[in-house]
Structure 1
Amino acid sequence: MFDNGYGFFSDDYREYIIKTPKTPRPWINVISNGDYGVVVSSTGSGYSWRTHASLNRITRWNQDIIKDDWGKYIYIRDASTGFFWSPTWKPVCAEPQSFELSHGLGYSEFRTQYFDIFSRLRIFVAKNDPVEIWQLTLKNNSNKERKLSLFTYLEWNLGAAPDWHREFHRSFIETEYVEDKNCILARKRLWELVNEKGQHWNRDWEYTAFFASNITPVSAEGSKEHFIGMYGNVTSPKAVVEGKLFGVFGKWEDPIASLQHEITLKPGEEKTLIYLLGAVKTDESLEEILRIYSSKTRAEEELESVKTYWSKLLDRFSVETPDKAFDIMNNVWLKYQAISGRLWGRTAYYQTGGAYGFRDQLQDSQIFLYLDPEQTKKQIKLHAAHQFSSGIVYHWWHPLSEEGNVSGYSDDLLWLPFVTVRYLKETGDIAFLKEKVRFCDGGEGSIYEHCVRAIDNILGRFGSHGLPLIGTGDWNDGMNAVGTGEKGESVWVGHFLYGILKEFEVVCELAGDAERKEEYKIRAFELKEAINRHGWDGKWYLRAYKDSGEPVGSSQNQEGKIYLNAQTWAILNDTASDDRKRLAYESAKKYLFREYGPILFHPAYSIPDPEIGYLTRYAPGMRENGGLYTHAGTWAVLAAARMNDPNTYSIYRSFMPVYRGMEPDKYLVEPYVTPGNVDGPDSPYFGRGGWSWYTGSAAWYFIAGVEGVLGILPTWEGLKLDPKIPEDWDQVSVKRLFRGVEYRIVIKRTGRKEIIISGEKIDGDVVPPFKDRKSVDVEVHI
């Protein structure tokens, strides 16, 4: 399905099957159980981590998208010929007789054949344990007996990554081989995190890393020099060329882990080996992990458990439309990307992270509103715990160390009330407002108090135009110089804040806070007046004011004349009159809506503007400098739906990965997940994708599909049903949970506009909550 020459989707949508390792860029999978994680690319490269992909990297990896030659590898050597290859493609890069790779939900599986030896390598992470499992099955498809030597290879990192000063860091790592466990152990006597006294460089790495196999090896190796050979390389390492390891371990090496196995295969015979890689704390049982997962049967059961988990979770929302690409993305891959990649892994190939972004994972957690709202609730509480009593928050913070960067961004703290409102509308869980969470600088407050402190903090920081100060930036980090003099203002934050104030008039009433409700009502009115007095440029809204008072995103500007977010959020949050909405939307469509999606602004900056920030320093058309920033593009889809644009789905489809992936040598990145950005028209590579997987656009693209295209919106009163499906869609079926009830919604094109619940027509377009039923059947006629 959707074969683009490099790969295609399986019939059940749950695998993307790659036919060649030579994809236009590394096409990866991010596999995580919420704590332990693995990234594996189409070439077989990648890395592993626990809890934090940058502070607690287990294996070494260097970011090189072109070479992609850092990873955890297996070599297979034929004893009779001396030829060797890998069951993946890297690092040997031998030409396979056949190659197929399935990236699935929680696993990847390479199926290759070299020199008449078929191999199946499954890589996955245990559901509840800090271990990744490699299940390697080899089958002899030749007509003669084959004697094979298997060599594994990985480099230990053990701590912060990248470990730039390798000669320093390796001095603290020690390895040993434990013969009765078939296991290499690795520890480090240094961790970059401060200790309990606040001292640097004086703390143990608090784990033991391990690499083991279920079959006793003939030899093992812990020295990179002995394995690769001086001035050698991973393509043809000395140990594999010569067919032997030296068994060197200890505290004095550049540390690796290699196990050597010798197997003999008769014609038609197959054998399976299991390798286990992970890291345990002192209170976790390595012996138990090795005992459980060294069993072939138990490993296969664990993989089935992982698959079942993902299926049950993702199937809580499903859609069936005439467009299989829409179904693929919204039934499977957007949800998987948002959870495994963004919420749990928080890392990928173009950006290796590990920290929590205050605004980032809060927005990502919206995906759980459709699947398991308790997880959104937990995310809200986690972020509330990283808010100061003043209302200010950490822009980002590190799990493990809890160190963070105190935010000077004007939007960060507002995402807490924004997502809380989304959670309340979805669940009706008003009692949540009373739950207590500590502030990170001491004391505690209810969720309601956390939210209003965020709002009140921003309300205390306004500029001369009656607009919110932008500070060190707003949603667009690259506008990091607009307001460093504490005078620059953000029109977009004005739109954003106005919507939150209006929603919190309802929340304040639910909380019994009449005084604050009235205050927010007044402030919202004043803000709307200021936006329309000082933020309107004639045909569209300005984006911001610099410290100097010069407008950004104005027809007066030579570059960056019109910005997308300032138009879309004027529509989404009703800060504009109907006439201005129409003008702003028409301007956005004229200048910004392009064939590969709505670009962030136009035209791109060709000369850096030090009064705006680093977004002007990107190459023109690249990333934030006039490209499609996919996150913002999703808001354009929602705005199109609000404007009743009959082309809403065409706009959505214009940057859909499945269809963009049908021109893979232009698009380059994976066809099954959203990219962070796509080059805009000012780039010679217009249409080129980049920064895939680790992007906040996955959850929002899902929301744009469900709430924008399908028009199923949670409100305070119930589910609003206002579809914007294309003319050639005659019927759509949706299964969606809402306030604990399963809604089975069928949208039919009949020429009459009505909503029928259990055979009875209702007034209006809002389906009220049903507390006394397990499921509700709804027909929407359009």
Structure 2
Amino acid sequence: LASSVIYGNALRRAAPGIITRNQLGQSGLWRFGISGDLPIVLLHIGDLDRIDLVKQVLQMHTYWRMKGLAADLVIVNEDFSGYRAVLQDLIMGLINAGPEAQMIDKPGGVFVRRAEELSEDERVLLQTVARIVLSDTAETLIEQVERRVSPERASDRLEPPHALVEEPVYPLAARERIFSNGLGGFTPDGHEYVITLEPGDTTPAPWVNVIASPHIGTVVSESGSAYTWAENAHEFRLTPWHNDPLSDSSGEAFYLRDEETGAFWSPTPAPARGRSGYVCRHGFGYSVFEHYEAGIASELFTYVAMDAPVKFVVVKLRNSSKRARSLSLTGYWELVMGEWRHANMMHIVTETDPHSGALFARNAYGRECANRVVFAHVSERERSVSGSRTEFIGRNGSLANPAAMRRKRLSGRTGAALDPCAAIQSRIELAAGQTREIVFVFGAARDADEARHFIQRFGRPAGAQQALETVWEHWKHTLGAVQVETPDPALDVLANGWLVYQTLSCRLWGRSGFYQSGGA
């Protein structure tokens, strides 16, 4: 059971239907003297004949505490008969007879409450936050501990009709750059920083662009790894902030897959790097990734709206081969919806919106984002979704080689008590020489109606293009107001755009960066 306290396990928690009903946050626990900062184990007891279950759970809790595993044990007396005082006395007698006597109503200790003290909403809250729910109406403790489910077998495994034929890899075209260091340099006008990565090339550390508006922001590195926040980069992270310059990990990823061969790659250098080189262009308020793989040229734009909490990932695909191509394009976001993923993941509930087809996520327990709606949407009508990170990545899998890339489509599984994510996949048909543009929007709204409004406004190529032009115009007006000319060309490049951009986007609006994410 200790592993369920540390990592969480849906088998030990309340039923998803109960978790979905929760409307209270962490402050709802404070009335009972429970902070909510430690993992909670909940025991329902109402049968005098099952008092041995209380004794076993107390012994378990004592053992955990001796080993340094802190958890709050909440015992709810469910006896509504005239003997409830007898059961209460028995429970307190067992506690006072052992080492738990010194830990009554203390953090990491034992909290005994009568069921009649709890409102229905509070009962739902306790069951929702508990990492382990035990009951005297179920099996014995041993049987509850050994409860298992049969592993699910994927029935929609992708079986490509054709074998992979590797095409030759060509070097990246030379680009005119100033102040080049071999990997990166500025365009002659100083408005973009261009990084070229041939196969096997990496930068010595993540070279990032902090893209922000007053409503939302994202930090994007040259590898394509990113994390995103809404309003506050510390308290309301939408995807994880890792602060690891060695691995440059990411909770966001995109994949292209050839449906005929099963070969897949990312339009960015990470997480599933293709065979040929990549070009990353960091600009004022946007970043672009260029790549060519297996006859498909891709250009991925990422930016945020200036007047709404919406992030865009726009992928332009061009079929450079001489035959029609069948592809799939997948977007993936690992959900946080708070400060840290481990503290919020068990409270996130996902669903597919029947009106827009988007994937919605809510975290009623979160302080900053209670009842907010985080949404992910793609412009293509044909799509499949998943709200399960475990299902998407697979057992012992990784984002470099996720299980979802070996299946025909995403399962559509959403709900509560999952390892939460937002994943959307669309099929893309390209005729020879054809170019198409696919728009992903990801953001946070006050409620479902506002989320649908953002999707309707920004969820198509025309709306995404208008938002990008607004970004361009904003930064052109802001950064072009004053231009300086000095004897030092390097100082000119910094002063005529990048220093002001960094101050506004990173320090004033984002209050975040790769190494620090303070939100203040």
TM-score of the two chains, using structure 2 as the length reference: 0.63
Does the aligned pair in 2 maintain the 1:173–1:188 contact within 8 Å?
yes
Picking from 471, 486, 498, the partner of 1:321 is 486
| 1:56-455 correspondence to structure 2 within 5 Å | 56-96=236-276, 98-161=277-340, 163=341, 166=342, 169-192=344-367, 205-282=370-447, 285-355=450-520
- Identity rate, percent: 36
SS at match of 1:69: coil
Picking from 180, 189, 193, the partner of 1:16 is 193
Q: Deviations over 1:55-105 (max 9, x none)?
A: 100112322111112131111111121110000011112232x42111111
2:385 aligned partner, one-letter code:
A
| Structure 2 gaps, min length 5 | 1-177
User: Aligned partners of 1:33, 1:41: CA distance in 2, in Å?
Assistant: 18
Q: Deviations over 1:223-259 (max 9, x none)?
A: 0111111111111111112332111100110111111
User: Aligned partners of 1:282, 1:144: CA distance in 2, in Å?
Assistant: 45
Q: Match of 1:397?
A: none
User: Aligned partners of 1:76, 1:61: CA distance in 2, in Å?
Assistant: 24
2:285 aligned partner, one-letter code:
G
RCO comparison, higher one (Cα < 8 Å, 6+): 2
2:212 aligned partner, one-letter code:
S
Across the two proteins, how many residue pairs are aligned to each other? 340
2:232 aligned partner, one-letter code:
H
Question: How far does residue 318 in structure 1 lie from its aligned partner after superposition?
Answer: 1.0
2:278 aligned partner, one-letter code:
F
Does the aligned pair in 1 maintain the 2:212–2:285 contact within 8 Å?
yes
Question: How far does residue 192 in structure 1 lie from its aligned partner after superposition?
Answer: 4.3
User: Aligned partners of 1:291, 1:9: CA distance in 2, in Å?
Assistant: 36
User: Aligned partners of 1:295, 1:189: CA distance in 2, in Å?
Assistant: 30
Question: How far does residue 301 in structure 1 lie from its aligned partner after superposition?
Answer: 2.0
SS at match of 1:312: helix
| Structure 1 gaps, min length 5 | 194-203, 356-782
Does the aligned pair in 1 maintain the 2:298–2:317 contact within 8 Å?
yes
User: Aligned partners of 2:294, 2:504: CA distance in 1, in Å?
Assistant: 39
User: Aligned partners of 1:311, 1:12: CA distance in 2, in Å?
Assistant: 13
Q: Match of 1:47?
A: 227
| 1:500-515 correspondence to structure 2 within 5 Å | none
1:154 aligned partner, one-letter code:
W
Does the aligned pair in 1 maintain the 2:215–2:306 contact within 8 Å?
no
Q: Deviations over 1:530-560 (max 9, x none)?
A: xxxxxxxxxxxxxxxxxxxxxxxxxxxxxxx
User: Aligned partners of 1:184, 1:46: CA distance in 2, in Å?
Assistant: 20
User: Aligned partners of 2:489, 2:183: CA distance in 1, in Å?
Assistant: 19
| 1:364-763 correspondence to structure 2 within 5 Å | none
Does the aligned pair in 1 maintain the 2:253–2:399 contact within 8 Å?
no
1:342 aligned partner, one-letter code:
R
User: Aligned partners of 1:61, 1:241: CA distance in 2, in Å?
Assistant: 28
Question: How far does residue 128 in structure 1 lie from its aligned partner after superposition?
Answer: 0.4
SS at match of 2:318: strand
SS at match of 2:495: helix
Question: How far does residue 214 in structure 1 lie from its aligned partner after superposition?
Answer: 1.3
Question: How far does residue 12 in structure 1 lie from its aligned partner after superposition?
Answer: 2.0
SS at match of 1:144: coil
SS at match of 1:59: coil
User: Aligned partners of 1:56, 1:19: CA distance in 2, in Å?
Assistant: 33
**CA pair 14-241 structure 1, distance change in 2 beyond 3 A:** same
Does the aligned pair in 1 maintain the 2:352–2:360 contact within 8 Å?
yes
User: Aligned partners of 1:51, 1:298: CA distance in 2, in Å?
Assistant: 22
Does the aligned pair in 2 maintain the 1:347–1:353 contact within 8 Å?
yes
Task: State the superposition RMSD in angstroms.
Answer: 1.6
1:36 aligned partner, one-letter code:
I
User: Aligned partners of 2:348, 2:245: CA distance in 1, in Å?
Assistant: 28
Q: Match of 2:14?
A: none
1:88 aligned partner, one-letter code:
T
Does the aligned pair in 2 maintain the 1:221–1:227 contact within 8 Å?
yes
